[in-house]
Structure 1
Amino acid sequence: MKRRDFMRQAGGATAAIGAGATATAGTAAAQEGGGGQRPDFGGYTDGAKGGTYQDARGSSEVTVEVGGGGGLAFLPTELWIDTGTTVTFEWVSGGHNVLFDDNPGDVSGHEPLEDEGFTFEVTFESGGIYTYYCDPHRSLGMLGGIAVGEDVPTVSTGGGGRKELHDLGVAIQAHWVGAATILGIIMSVIFTFYLVKYGESAHTGTGR
């Protein structure tokens, strides 16, 4: 093998991996941008069971599971809806109720404990932040929050500066840069060994 051919092949492989790493980093950076908003429940749902969030604005009817996620969660735990939306609370396990804290509208929960299969509906006509809980399991984190309308406090969900790839949920691609570096070192070592042991071809650069 000629030195020029060897270097061309080694350089091409290294460049391909480096390009892949650069493209991946660019994609991750693009995904980071844009930001977004979600309702701020003032820490009420921090540590709540389930921990799910749904932006259901644009829907006239939404269902919240009572006793989902292993039996001690409201799913979704946090919900954002338009005014006038009807929320159906559907029991997927028994022994729960739905009680609202002080809230900005005229809504009430359902105090008796109910069994699986029970449902009741609440229509939210007034905007604001609503928080609720299951009385027997409140201390265990069975809490929920509903934001109604656009005039609610929000928190940013993105756009807070550049993040590392692993912070963006792109774990494996971060290793491509290291892999390209290691491959370059290995190729250099192989070439040096080849040159020392066999010397350069007499036909290097002649095209033969």
Structure 2
Amino acid sequence: MDVAVIKYNAGNVQSVLYALERLGANASLTDNWEAIKKADKVIFPGQGEASTAMKYLKERKLDELIKELEQPFFGICLGLQLLCEHSEEYDTDCLGIFPVKVKKFPPEDKVPHIGWNNLENLKSPLLDGLDDNAYVYYVHSFFAEIHSAYTIATSHYITDFSALLHRDNYYAMQAHPEKSSVSGEKILTNFLKL
């Protein structure tokens, strides 16, 4: 199975590639349109800042490509936030796959949210085999609001937020599955089976 991991100058990509390799996927880091379009699955990972990442995507017209893809697509951390409509981080318009706003956690002395936190209200085949309250690993200062149609799991830190989102072929997760031990490996395995 060929997995394209979208290159857009965001951090934390290598650990995603290692995790996919451990699961037996043939993964490559690329910003090449044809390679991304041909892949069986696409992963959009990253840590970083929304406006810089969106600028890179637009310069390479990857923003247009992402909206056209039909194969299973998985955004991770910043990848989830960029799939939303708008981020408060430097007032950034994002890709709009999910009609959801990304906001900064208040207050300043409580961010970033780093560490293990549980998933609640699980409702997707992507989460098959996980117990309600399975723990995953977070590093983020911004969060996606909850959407009644597209939120497939929630977490709580200061406020409830979308831990995972799903719409059509697009899935996204705020935590880092590649750093989330057994729970994260299960989610990546489920994604590869979609």
Q: Which has the higher contact order (CA 8 A, sep 6+)?
A: 1
* TM-score between both structures, scaled by the size of structure 2: 0.25
The TM-score with structure 1 as length reference comes to: 0.23
Look at both structures and tell me which one has the larger radius of gyration over its CA atoms: 1
